[in-house]
Amino acid sequence: MKKTIFISGINGFIGSSLLEHMIHHDDYFIFGVDIDDSRVCSFFDHSNFKFIKDSISNLDLMEDLIRQSDIILPLAAIANPKLYVTDPLKVFALDFEANLELIKLTVKHQKRLIFPSTSEVYGMCQDQYFDEDQSNCVTGPIHKQRWIYSSSKQLLDRVIYAYGIHNNLDYTLFRPFNWVGGKLDSIDPEASERSRVVSKMISDIVFKKELTLVDGGKQKRAFTDIDDGIDALWKIIDDSTGSSYQKIFNIGNPFNEHSIKDLACYILDALKNNPKLSHFVDDINIIDRTGFEVYGQHYQDVDFRMPSINAIQECLGWKPSIDLKTSIEKIIQHHEQSILNDY
């Protein structure tokens, strides 16, 4: 029997990547909502997809779509560390308040909820591997506004868990660990103001002839290729066994831990090895700046973020396979033509 999935924020990094994966699975019909359609417009004519250009603040529309759907996947959110500091109230309004309304409607209509938590909920946890059921969620003092995103997501996790206990909500929470891919952000002269680290580094190299390392780039992350991430998310969506019922899953690649400085080197190497783009790495100025200089006094960083993926391996048989160098090469290839056109 064909199922209907409602995805808010479908034009974003995860949403558009998932749509591309799901669109040819005829067992699913997809309602997609977003305020932008630039990444999904090529699928408008597909019979398995209907796009609605609107905001999730339109609660009458949201309720109607949720009522018609079997699975609810609310992906609309701000996930940008710079904005956590510069516009925390906007982050809270969308990431917490607006998504809470969708969660309430999902409970009201007794639908299945697949909700994007975040690796950020673990904060400054010192466990070697972050475990969904055992690791503490540790954030900094209130004046470090960087934690508004983590705290908003953590509170929604707790609300969803409570709905599971008291209202028998059918849910799965998934926590992405530094997913990277070509659709993460655009590569352009203004990217440094809004992009995540991979896209920002590429944009700065191409358009500013510089590469900034924050606090020496010593922070470590377990980078996860978007294709591995979408494979895991698809296993959750298509789970017919109930293995993912009321579960929390880390989705990350513990075999892929690298420092931000390592990441910068991989990006430089990938550009250098691309015949059409190699000239962009000539005479690059590498700058070391403090977190205070880059993000301001309200920022606080995390030294490492390593997922345990035992839960999703045991329940759904998922394991990542793509290394960071391959991911970077794919990202460079994805943006190659736009870089050449824009420069």
Round the average pLDDT of the chain to a whole number and report it: 95
Amino acid at 32: G
Q: What residues pair up with 257 in beta bridges, in sequence order?
A: 222
Fold of 3-184+224-256+306-322: Rossmann fold (3.40.50)
Q: What is the pLDDT of residues 237-277, one digit of tens each?
A: 999 999 999 999 999 999 999 999 999 999 999 999 999 99
pLDDT classification of 192: cutoffs 50, 70, 90: low
Q: What is the pLDDT of residues 135-148, one digit of tens each?
A: 999 999 999 999 99
What is residue 343's predicted lDDT score, i.e. its pLDDT? 64
What is residue 329's predicted lDDT score, i.e. its pLDDT? 95
Question: What's the CA gap between 237 and 230, in Å, rounded?
Answer: 10
Q: Give the distance from CA 5 to its chain's centroid.
A: 19
pLDDT classification of 208: cutoffs 50, 70, 90: confident
What is residue 17's predicted lDDT score, i.e. its pLDDT? 98
Taking a C-beta distance cutoff of 8 angstroms, is the pair 70, 1 a contact? Answer: no
Torsion of CA 7, 13, 18, 19, to 10 degrees: 70
Which whole number is the average pLDDT over 60-70?
99
Residue 286: strand, helix, or coil: strand
What is residue 194's predicted lDDT score, i.e. its pLDDT? 63
Q: DSSP characters for 175-232?
A: EE-SEE-TTSS--STTGGGT--HHHHHHHHHHHHSEEEEEGGG--EEE-EEHHHHHHH
What is residue 327's predicted lDDT score, i.e. its pLDDT? 97
Question: What's the CA gap between 180 and 332, in Å, rounded?
Answer: 12
Name the percent of the chain lying above pLDDT 70.
98
Which whole number is the average pLDDT over 70-82?
95
Would you call 120 a catalytic residue per the annotation?
yes
Give 123's DSSP letter.
B
Which whole number is the average pLDDT over 219-245?
97
What is residue 233's predicted lDDT score, i.e. its pLDDT? 99
Q: What is the pLDDT of residues 9-45, one digit of tens each?
A: 999 999 999 999 999 999 999 999 999 999 999 999 9
Residue with token string 């691309």: 274
pLDDT classification of 196: cutoffs 50, 70, 90: confident
How is the chain split into domains, by residue range?
Answer: 3-184+224-256+306-322
Q: What residues pair up with 222 in beta bridges, in sequence order?
A: 257
Catalytic annotation, pick one of 112, 120, 132, 146 = 120
Q: 166 pLDDT exceeds 90? A: yes
Catalytic annotation, pick one of 39, 146, 196, 305 = 305
User: How far apart, in Å, are the Cα atoms of 311 and each of 156, 237, 280, 316?
Assistant: 21, 16, 43, 8
Q: What is the pLDDT of residues 304-318, one digit of tens each?
A: 999 999 999 999 999
